[in-house]
Structure 1
Amino acid sequence: MKKAGILNRHLAGAVAELGHGDGVLVCDVGMPIPAGPKVVDLSFRAGVLSFAEVLDGLLAELVVEGATAAEEVRDANPEASALLDSRFPNLELVSHEKLKELTAHARLVVRTGEARPYANVLLRCGVFF
């Protein structure tokens, strides 16, 4: 039995399958999820698990070489915007519509219980060497 890190067996397994260049969308409960990517749904109730909790848990286990979020987060969700800025100094911003298009090519979608708008980020996996 694992004693640390991501304990959810579905998420831990999906993370172990990721490779360089793969996309991982961490999203709120309202983000439309296209057919295609593997989905691990961690939502329980509105706000549980939060976007910040899930994002930080994933960042502790993933090498991330880039991140993309919707530009709408700036005005609609200042807390998520500040969180993203603090985690990703080179955050790329695109329209929400473009982010939804990019999500179709993600390898994994992790749905959180976050119930505030535009709490979504598409991570691009890197390598540790």
Structure 2
Amino acid sequence: MKKAGILNRHLSGALAELGHGDGVLVCDAGMPVPHGPRVVDLAFRAGVPSFAEVLDGLLAELVVEGATAATEIRRANPAAAALLDGRFPQLRLVPHERLKELSAGARLVVRTGEASPYANVLLRCGVFF
């Protein structure tokens, strides 16, 4: 049994299958989940687990070379925008509709219980060497 890191077996296994360039959508409870990518739904109730908790847990285990979020996050959710700006100095912003289109190409979707608007980010996996 694992004693640290991500304990959810479905999420841990999905992360182990990712490679360079793969996309991982970390999303709030309201984001439409595209057909195609593997989905690990962690949502338990509104706000649990939070977007920040899940994102930080993933960043502790993944190499990320890029991140994309919706332009609308700046106005509608300044706290989530500040969180992403702090984690990703080169955060790319696109209209929300474009983020939904890009999400269809993700390899993995991790749905949180976050209940605030536009708390979504599409991560691009890097390599550790």
Where does residue 127 of structure 2 map in the other structure?
Answer: 127
Where does residue 64 of structure 2 map in the other structure?
Answer: 64
Unaligned runs of at least 5 residues, structure 2: none
The one-letter code matched in structure 2 to 1:116 is S
Where does residue 108 of structure 1 map in the other structure?
Answer: 108
Distance in 2 between residues matched to 1:57 and 1:3, nearest whole Å: 14
Map 1:84-99; keep pairs closer than 5 Å.
84-99=84-99
Where does residue 54 of structure 1 map in the other structure?
Answer: 54
Between the two proteins, what is the percent identity of the paired residues? 84
Where does residue 31 of structure 2 map in the other structure?
Answer: 31
Instruction: Give secondary structure in 2 for the equivalent of 1:13.
Output: helix
Deviation at 1:34, TM superposition (A): 1.1
Distance in 2 between residues matched to 1:106 and 1:33, nearest whole Å: 10
Deviation at 1:82, TM superposition (A): 0.3
Distance in 2 between residues matched to 1:85 and 1:99, nearest whole Å: 17
The number of equivalent residue pairs is: 129
The one-letter code matched in structure 1 to 2:56 is D
Instruction: Give secondary structure in 2 for the equivalent of 1:18.
Output: coil
Deviation at 1:53, TM superposition (A): 0.0
Distance in 2 between residues matched to 1:95 and 1:30, nearest whole Å: 16
Instruction: State the TM-score, normalized to the length of structure 2.
Output: 1.00
Unaligned runs of at least 5 residues, structure 1: none
RMSD (Å) for aligned C-alpha atoms: 0.2
Instruction: Give secondary structure in 1 for the equivalent of 2:122.
Output: strand
- 1:82 equivalent to 2:82? Answer yes
The one-letter code matched in structure 2 to 1:71 is T
Instruction: State the TM-score, normalized to the length of structure 1.
Output: 1.00
Instruction: Give secondary structure in 1 for the equivalent of 2:35.
Output: coil
Distance in 2 between residues matched to 1:34 and 1:85, nearest whole Å: 25
Distance in 2 between residues matched to 1:26 and 1:34, nearest whole Å: 12
